[in-house]
Each structure stands twice: as C-alpha cells, then as structure tokens.
Structure 1
Amino acid sequence: MNFIHELKSWFPDFHKRPPLQYMKLGPNRGTEHPLMIQFFTWDAMTQDKSWWRHVADEIPRLADMGFTQIWLPPPNKAAVKDGRGYDAYDLWDLGEFNQKGTIGTRWGTKEELLNACEIAKRHNMDIIIDAVLNHKIGADRTEVFPAVPVDENNRLKETGPVRDIEGWTAYDFPGRGEKYSSLRWNQEHFSGLDWDHKTRTKAIYRIIGSGHKGWSTHVDRELGNYDYLLGINIDHRHPAVQKDLLKWGPWILETTNAVGFRFDAIKHIDRQFLLKFMRATRSSTKADMFAVSELWSGDIKMCLRYIAAFKDQTSFFDVPLHYKFHEASKQGAAFDLRLIMDDTILKVKPGYAVTFVDNHDTVEGQMLESWVGSRFKIQAYALILLREEGYPCVFYGDLYPDGKCFDESIASKLKLLIQARKHFVYGSTRDYLQEKNCIGFVRMGDSKHHPCVVILSNAEGSGAVHSIRMNVGNDHTGSTFSSFMTDGERVEIDAEGWGLFTCSAGETQVWVKL
C-alpha cells in the first residue's frame, strides 16, 4: 500500500481513470443521475433583483428537479459595469470593491453570491465557477513598450517593423488595494494585445523586449498560433502570473465553497500552465475537484489530442455532438439519426464527455451561433438526458423564459425529460438504430427499477406515426408500458419481452412500465 501511495505522489495522474469516473458530480458520491445546469444566458439579467438572488431563489426548485451542480457565470469584476465577467478585470473582486464604477458585478454583490452558494450547499447542489484565465480587459492606465504587428490570419507572420505602442496594460486595482493579492499587472505579464492607443490603431501586436518570450507554443495551431484571442493576452509562463493564478484557484473554491471549474477558451491558454493549475488546485483542495473545459472545435481528432494532453485532469464539453444536433435541426428528415453519435466525444471517449444542446455562445446572434432549432431540440435533450453515457448539462435559456430563443413548448417537454431522467432511466442501454428517421433505445433497468423505452423521430408529415419493435426483457412479459410524454397510450409486452413502441413524426416519446 505504501508503494502505491509513493507512486501516486511521483505521478499525479497515476489513477488513469476518465475524469467523470472520479470527479465530483454532486454532493453525494452515490448520485445515480448527476445533472448540471448552466444558470445564465449571454443577456441574462433580472429587473427586480440581482442575478445571485435569482440563483438563490431557484436553487430549491432545481434541487427538487434533480440537478446536482449549477454552473455560474464568471463571478469576477468585469471591465464595465454590466460586463459578463468574460471581460475579466479583477479575478479577486467578486463584487466587494468599488472598481469600474460599481461595487457589485453584473450579477450582484459578493455577499449575495456567497448567500446563493450557502443555499446551494443546504440543498445538496454543487457550485461550478467559470474561470476566465486567458486575458484581461479594462486596464487602469496605459504604458509604452515595443511590439510588432502580426497578421490576424497568421500570428506567426509579422506585418511591419518593431515600434513603440501605447497599450492599456497597467492594472492597479485602486479599489481593492493589496487585499487578497499584491500583484499589479503590467506589460511584462502579457504577450499581446489588439489596440495601439497612441495611433488609435486596431491590430494584433506581439509584445517584445526584455523578458518577453513571444507567443506560447503550447496552444492551438489555428491561425498559425492561437495564443491571442482578445483583450490583453496573459503570458502564463511568467512566474508572477503563475504564482497569482495558482493562489487564486484554491481561494475562489474555498471562498465560495465551490467544487470545481468550467475553464473558458482553453485553445488559447498555455497547456502546460493549465495542466499545472488543475493539478495544483486539486492537490491543495480536493482530489475529486470537478473540471470541464471549453475546447470549441467540432473536430473529434483535435478533441482527442487535447484529451490526451490533459492526462485525465479535465472533462470536455462535447462540441462535436452539439454540432451534430445543430445539423440535425437544420436538415430535418434529410439527417440520418443512426449517425448522430458518430465522431463525438460521447461515442469515442464517454468518460470525458460533458454533453449539452446549447449554451450562451450558440444563441442566435452570438459569435459561435449554432442554435439547435425547435424541431430537434427535445430529441437532442432526450439523447443526452436519458442515455447512460456522458454527463449532461441543461441550458438556462431552454428552461427559463429569457427573451431570446425561448420556446414554452420546448421548456414543458424538457421538464418531463428531466423528470424521466430522475425516476426511470436505469441500467444498461440497448440500441435500436434500424431506421434513418426514427431510432430508439431501452434502458434495461436494475434490481430496483423497471426498464424504460425511448423513441425519437426527425421525420416530417403531420399525423404520421413511427414504430420500432424493442425488447424490455423476459422478466416483463405480459406487462403494459404507458406513454410518459403524452397521456393515454399503451403498449403490451409479449411472451418474449417484445413490444411495438410508437412515436409521432418529428416527436420524442418515453415509455414506462405501469
């Protein structure tokens, strides 16, 4: 036993288990159906109370529905009063200090945030923090330093000579002072920016000069080198930067009693640093710390490279699966449902897949717009909520009216699927993928739960009905299954455990044993 412990100390990834098998997915280790909700949209804001108070008010209902984790928007002070937090100004300010013209963030004050976190704890829901570690925005003053412009389509290609530029790179945090952190950021802590204030020129500049190492080589190769995304790009190789961020990780978890992170834009963050951050924070907090990373790519080969690079330290949002859902919603009956899982993280590496249908970036009008339309929204949710593989995340904008893309009919059906997940889907999965426009699967149940049958269609044509003959097991011969999504329909199971289960064209149906 001592030898095994020594090996684990030498090699932090000795366990070699997929992250979803060891990470915390809910307050109780034995949670059979963990479920996450992304509790915000891009334009989220309430009129009569702060967002953190809205979170606090909704947590009891969410917990009762079966949610075990709630992913909150970035809690840090933004560059502007109503900033979402992705325009990160000060990670250490959670709505406590008078900075950027406000004490609270867009979401509320620190006290309101911590109150919501305490209510979550009392209702057995875990908090997930959105960590924005790639860049900073909203500096307090400018500095002059040498830089070289680069091609925005190939950041390895210089487009002009070295010159002195004036950049917004000095962060003094006058409202916070030295509380929590004494680091004052300046140009030496960054590697690039996109604005020369002296000439009022927008272009991507690589900062050069003493101490600067250029772009990190441990980032995505898109556009030659994808270290730079936006704002003032953080150089994660700088010792002072590392020290500050490695201190912030445990601090934010301890302060909020959160269990882990959603990491924003990891294609642009030095992989060596981010891996170090995950390991160090786990080491100083909890070994089962939750982590999910946003790697925005529909290319399964790229996803697999990142999965290998992060050595079981993080799960990943299944962006390839999201794009399959998006295409299915656009193509309608032309899309072959038998191929819906192919080339997805869920299919290839299910122990790493955090599945989702839509999020704040995919909404219509956003940069990553790829909204899953209403004619396939519920089918997509059925595939992530009712199967055994992966860890599903429900989007706030699909469950709550928020003024954009919301569909009351979708929300009502989604609530039924969430209820079905909580009560009916247990045991192994048996697939029936014979038809292009109608597929089904059976969750075979266990010693305490009956089987559950799911059938979904993307066919078109009012009044058409699809059917698939599926087997629920010999233990259920002569029994009756009832439709859960609609009332009144019945299926009789024959002497060999087979039943003919139906679904209206373009709909989703769940069948449960009476």
Structure 2
Amino acid sequence: MHPKHQGRTTAAVWKASAFRIVLLSIMAAALVSCSNVVMNQDGSSAAAELEALSRSAGTGELPEIPSYQVNPTIYQAFYWDAYPGLWTQLEDIAAPLAEAGITDMWLPPAAKGFSGTYSVGYDVYDFWDLGEFDQKGTVPTRYGTRSELDAALQALDNMGIDAYFDVVFNHRMGADRQQYIDGMGNVWTDFDLNGRDVYYTPEAWGGLYHDFDWDWTAFNGIDGQLFPGKYWGNNYHWPYLMGNDVDHNRPEIVDEMKAWGEWIIEDVGFDGFRMDAVAHVDSDFTRDWVNHVQAVTDKDVFFVGEAWVGDVGGYLDHVGTGHLSAFDFALREDFVSLSSGNKDMRWWGGLVNSDKGSQAVTFVDNHDTSREGNPYGNPQVINYKNQAYAYILMKEQGVPTVFARDYEEFGMAPTLDTLIEARRYFAYGAGHEQSANTEAVYTYVREGLDSVPGTGLVMLISGRDWGIQETFSINSHQPNTEFYDYTGNVGGTVVTDASGYGNFPVSISESSGWSIWVPVADQEPPAPAGWSQAYFRGTPNSWSTSQMVKDADTGLWEFTAVFGSDNPRFKIDRYGDWTESYPQQDYLITDGSGEYLISFDDDGKEITAEKIDDGGTGSVTIHYAEYEYASEYIIHPWDGLSGNISMSYDGFYNDRHWWSATLENAPASFMFCFTNSNGSWDGVNREYGGQSGDIYVLPGESQLYELRP
C-alpha cells in the first residue's frame, strides 16, 4: 500500500525526547528536596514520563522496521474553515508528523469549488481545475495554486508520505447559466469548466474522451426532483443529497471520471482517494471506477469511502470490490459511549472488529463530526479521547486516522506524537484480545515480529475516572521480557514469566488512563523456553481441556486419545483459553477410528497422530428402553467417542419398547447418554468400559446390564 515509505531515522524522535528529558529533569530536581512526586498537568507522574523517555532515548535505538512493514497511519490535514493557503504550509506541517510515524495525508478537496477561495471544496465546480484557471472569481483555490499543490505533493513524496485526494463524485455546484427543462422551468445546470477544456481532450484520452457538455443531461436531477427521462442510480443510501446530482448511469460521464482518476494518480501525483458521500453515489459506478483506476497504474492506490450508513460492511458488499475501504462510523459510536464515561470496555463493535476489519479506516473525529456549531447534530467525543486514539493506533486491523483539529487546536499533539511513535515502532505482530478486560478497562496485545526484536506491546486503556491504579495479569506473548510504559503514565517496569504473563498496571483515570507497555531496548533475546503446559482439545473430550505430558527424552508433548469415526478432529491449545492454538484449522484424523498417540513439538509447532490401536474389544450392541414415544432414539457419546449414533427399534420386551445400535470396533471406553427426536434428553451419564456383546440400559439409570431387565 505504501511503496514509497523508507525506513526513517529516529534522530528527530531522539531530539524531541532529549528536550523533554531536560525539561522534566529540571522539574524533578526542583521538587526532589521536598520528597514530592513531579506531576504533569494531566495528573500523571513527570518522573514516570522522564523514566520512559530516558529508556527510549538512552538506548540510541528503536526497533528497525523494514520499510515494507511500516504501519500505515493517516493524518487528516484539515478541518472545516481552516488552512487557507495550505499548500505552502504543508511541508512544515508534515515534517514532524513524518518523523513520528505518519505515512499518509488526507488532503482537502483540491478542485475548484463554487464559492472560489471561500470553498472548503465540497461544492465542487470543475474537477480539472486545481488552482490553475480564472473561474469563480479566482485562479487559486482556498488552498493555493496548482504550482503550489505540485510543490506540496513533491515535498510529501520526499518525506515518504502518500497523499490522498478528497473527491466529491455525488454532485456539482455553481452552474454558469440556466436551462429550461420541461415541467421544471429555468434551472441552473449549464457549466463552462475551463479546466476540463484544457485537460480533457481527445489527444490525451483517446477512447475515454467523449464530446459532450456538462449541461442538464449530465445530471439526474436537482433539489430532489428527477429530470425528464432520468432515473436514480443503484445507490446504497438515499439517492439525492445536494446540488446537481451527477448521472453516473451515463457512459460518457463514467469514462470522463475514469480519465480524471488516471490523471490525478499518474500526472498530478496523488496516491489515493477519500471518496465523499459515496453511499449516495451509484455503486456500479463506484466499483467500476475504483477497479479501473487501480488497473491502469503500477501504484497500489488507496481508496476509502465515506459511507455514513448503519451497516458499512453491507455497503462494501453492495459495491463488491476488495480495493475499497470504508470509514468505521460504527466504531466511532463506541467512542461516543466512551466519552460519556459509561462504556462497557469489554465489548467493542465496528467494521474493524468484523470479518472486514482489513477494510476499515478508523477515526475518532473528522471535519464533519467536529465542527463549530455542530451543524449535523452529531454526538461529540470530548472525554477519554486519548484512550480512543490509543485504541485505533495499536489495533492490528484497520488503518487509523489522526485529525488535525485534535492534533493542533485541541492541544493533543504531545500525546498523539507518543501514540503515533508507539504504533510506528512497536505495534506489530498478531493482535490478541484479552479475557482480562473489565467494564472499566480494555486490554490488548500485539505479540511483535520474530524478525524485529523489541517490537510488540501490551495496551491498557481505562474508561473510568476513579483516581486509582489497577494491575492486570496479561499474556504478552513474550516470555522473560522486561517492559516499560512508553507513554510515561505509569513508572517502573514489568518482567514477564516463562509463559509470557506479567502484571501490567494502568491508571483508572481519564487524564492518564492509557498505557502502552513495550519491551525495554537492547535486551538479549530470551532463549526459547518452550511451553510450560499444553492441552489437548478435540472430539474425544468434547473440546474440553485435557493436560498433555511432556516426554523428558524427546521434548514432545504427548496425549493418548480414542477417536470415533464421525469427523474426528483436534487442536493443541497452549493456555487452555484458545488464545494460542495449533494448527490454524483443526487437525483431522484420516486413518479411521481407534486409539492414537498425539505428539506436539512446541518449537516447530509440528503435530503427529500415530495410530496405536484399532480400539475397543470388538463390537457392542447397546439396548435402551424408551421413556416416551418418539420416532427415533439417539446415543450421544463423548470422552472417547464422538458423533451422535442413531438407534433402531428393537421391539416390545418385558413390558418395554426397546431400541438398539451396534458399534463395530468400539473404543475401549467412552461416556454416553440418550436423547430422542422430540428433543427430550435422558441426561444420566453412563460409562462404557470395554464390554463386548450386548448391554442394556434403563431410563434414568447409570447401571449397564448384561441381560435385558
């Protein structure tokens, strides 16, 4: 996704850290004679932060992440009514962000808008005018001229930052004259578009060029009214939003937009698109346009849609292209709840936590949700905002977005810099949800990269403001490793045990209730200690946990299990809680029922299943006296035999109706009970112990009879 990104030096991070170390050292020295703990304005310990910074800067090293593995992190470089002249400011804005770990910038709409230099860009007039033509009373856009945009894009490219164009496909505004339309009268629908006249030519675009005008025939309607002979498109959300609604059913429109998309990527130099109000745009057009633009370039183009709908995953299915990501509005609802101080931290929703997590672009706020006067009436995220950013920046799934207004106007830059750095240098490897979560605290682990020592983290975020500290036993997936809190909110270190578990503290506080525990640098990689326990889970024990035994000579974990013939499967579970188990898909026994020796190598994660006995003592027939009328009775076995066994009607003997089933080559032992086609259970547990021939069972009794009672 980010081929330009190169491994950046950590010099700027060290310089900033060094300055903060000096400042905090002065603060600490000033109070040390009074035996006070130095506190920051947010209530966290300045001494703890000094300790964290010293650890990072003092080593002279942060993990060296290969350029192709650097985590993507987006910065939305604007908010409403801000940044006139942005193109000339962008290099200075981007430089420290690039050093912290920002890899991508979402820029405001760069095309000429209806309101000229007052236009934020969403009232788009001419797609092909990027501040180059005298239209709408100005040559430059609000953000500058085309040449200034070109220079800004080059500066970002030099820093390894990809730039995303904010495109408004849904509508156009600012028609130059009216046209008469039957049944509607005079309507503003006729556009001149000088930029289009220069760049959209037959010489440049060949088969994608069509000689047509942007007049009323280029639109479906206006003010919610359809034009004669027009129809709304295949939209996921309501079709009319605002302005002159563009007719994406018209092939000429589609081809021009494909040409424009190529131009933006290949000629202008952008690397991706943020697609405005995309759920109101024809989904067939969206799919075809995205696929076309990606197909004609060697770049890995990034596409993210603003689909402000309840089911974002449903929208992505409706469009049907894997190239398109979407903003995770559902996750933001969790942040609204977090802001209120009553969120249950054990439960998180959103696209990022679904089967489409890889297509999620996460965010806390943007130019629509955080705007002066709150014109859309959006619920606000005001409190626990640092915790929300920690959540999106440390997660394995989703590409997180940092909002300029939070970073600059709301004074969150110091904290966000630290969190962005933590993502840049430590947030790697598989992510693990934790059973340690409570209503007040969410915990999450990244296990790190085997190829890059020092990566991985343990995150804890608090959703309550109790003014205390709590400690949680968490599996870091890094045994015998020393961790420190990169945020500086909690002092000291945590050393994990041979299984990777450690007791990690966090402040239960809004002002400092987020901790990112990362490995102390320059530790000797621990020698592989192997597993301290292993559990067998499968059909023989109904997927419960059975302790395996480690062979002292071979070093292999072993367990003997008896498998039946009905879909015999198993896994090896490291902790007995499913947080780490092998293989990824169930191990399937293919050599028939019987007794097997299961062996597991915890180093190479290799599994063998050796059949040591065909099992059992021959065939056995189980007879059962029914307890109510049913069309079928069923044996339900476990712990040695799996899969329900249908019984056949035997006949009427000794004043009872009997059913039976014969098990060929029965295992040496198993447990069983009975049910029937009515769904009624005789749940008394019986234990089969290797008998052969016939056994008889009465309802509600555990005894096995050799003769029919």
TM-score tier after normalising by the smaller chain length? 0.7 to 0.9
Asked if the contact 2:428–2:447 (Cα under 8 Å) also holds between the matched residues in 1, the reply is yes
Secondary structure of residue in 2 paired with 1:476? coil
Q: How does 1:103-142 map to 2 (within 5 A)?
A: 103-142=139-178
2:112 to 77, 93, 102: 77
Instruction: Give the equivalent residue in structure 2 for 1:354.
Output: 361
Instruction: Give the equivalent residue in structure 1 for 2:213.
Output: 184
Cα gap change, 1:469/1:475 in structure 2, threshold over 3 Å: closer, same or farther?
A: closer
Higher helix residue share: 1
Asked if the contact 1:142–1:170 (Cα under 8 Å) also holds between the matched residues in 2, the reply is yes
Cα gap change, 1:164/1:354 in structure 2, threshold over 3 Å: closer, same or farther?
A: closer
Instruction: Give the equivalent residue in structure 2 for 1:449.
Output: 453
Larger radius of gyration: 2
Distance, in Å, in 1 between the alignment partners of 2:149 and 2:355 is: 38
Distance, in Å, in 2 between the alignment partners of 1:277 and 1:93 is: 20
2:344 pairs with 1:336: yes
2:225 pairs with 1:205: yes
2:65 pairs with 1:30: no
Q: Which amino acid aligns with 1:472?
A: S
Asked if the contact 1:26–1:68 (Cα under 8 Å) also holds between the matched residues in 2, the reply is no
Distance, in Å, in 2 between the alignment partners of 1:240 and 1:213 is: 15
1:431 to 421, 430, 433: 433
Secondary structure of residue in 2 paired with 1:446? coil
Higher relative contact order (CA 8 A, sep 6+): 1
Give the root-mean-square deviation of aligned CA atoms.
Answer: 2.1
2:512 pairs with 1:493: no
Secondary structure of residue in 1 paired with 2:181? strand
Distance, in Å, in 1 between the alignment partners of 2:232 and 2:375 is: 24
How many angstroms does 1:34 deviate by?
1.4
Asked if the contact 1:37–1:67 (Cα under 8 Å) also holds between the matched residues in 2, the reply is yes
Cα displacement string for residues 153-211 of structure 1 (whole angstroms, at most 9, x for unaligned residues): xxxxxxxxxx23211100013x54721136531011111112xxxxxxxxx32111xxx
Distance, in Å, in 1 between the alignment partners of 2:438 and 2:153 is: 46
Asked if the contact 2:2–2:68 (Cα under 8 Å) also holds between the matched residues in 1, the reply is no
1:459 to 464, 467, 486: 464
Instruction: Give the equivalent residue in structure 1 for 2:232.
Output: 215
Structure 1's unaligned 5+ residue stretches are 1-22, 147-162, 195-203
Q: How does 1:26-425 map to 2 (within 5 A)?
A: 27=5, 30-46=68-84, 50-81=85-116, 82-146=118-182, 163-173=183-193, 175-176=194-195, 178-181=197-200, 183-194=212-223, 204-208=224-228, 212-216=229-233, 218-221=234-237, 226-286=238-298, 288-297=300-309, 299-300=310-311, 302-330=312-340, 332=341, 334-340=342-348, 342-364=349-371, 365-370=373-378, 372-401=380-409, 406=410, 408=411, 410-425=412-427
Asked if the contact 2:490–2:505 (Cα under 8 Å) also holds between the matched residues in 1, the reply is no
| TM-score with structure 1 setting the length | 0.81
Secondary structure of residue in 2 paired with 1:258? coil
Secondary structure of residue in 2 paired with 1:89? strand
Cα gap change, 1:305/1:181 in structure 2, threshold over 3 Å: closer, same or farther?
A: closer
Distance, in Å, in 1 between the alignment partners of 2:479 and 2:255 is: 60
Instruction: Give the equivalent residue in structure 2 for 1:508.
Output: 514
How many angstroms does 1:343 deviate by?
4.6
Percent identity, aligned pairs only, is 33
Judge which range, 447-456 or 245-254, deviates more: 447-456
How many angstroms does 1:371 deviate by?
5.6
Instruction: Give the equivalent residue in structure 1 for 2:476.
Output: 472
Cα displacement string for residues 395-441 of structure 1 (whole angstroms, at most 9, x for unaligned residues): 1111122xxxx2x2x33211111111112222222322431111212
How many angstroms does 1:37 deviate by?
0.9
Distance, in Å, in 2 between the alignment partners of 1:193 and 1:487 is: 57
Cα gap change, 1:269/1:486 in structure 2, threshold over 3 Å: closer, same or farther?
A: same
How many angstroms does 1:367 deviate by?
4.3
Asked if the contact 1:413–1:485 (Cα under 8 Å) also holds between the matched residues in 2, the reply is no
Q: Which amino acid aligns with 1:119?
A: A
Secondary structure of residue in 1 paired with 2:384? helix
Asked if the contact 1:93–1:176 (Cα under 8 Å) also holds between the matched residues in 2, the reply is yes
How many angstroms does 1:256 deviate by?
2.2
Q: Which amino acid aligns with 2:125?
A: Y
Asked if the contact 1:25–1:68 (Cα under 8 Å) also holds between the matched residues in 2, the reply is no
| TM-score with structure 2 setting the length | 0.59
How many angstroms does 1:508 deviate by?
0.8
Structure 2's unaligned 5+ residue stretches are 7-66, 202-211, 521-709
Cα gap change, 1:275/1:138 in structure 2, threshold over 3 Å: closer, same or farther?
A: same
Asked if the contact 2:111–2:141 (Cα under 8 Å) also holds between the matched residues in 1, the reply is yes
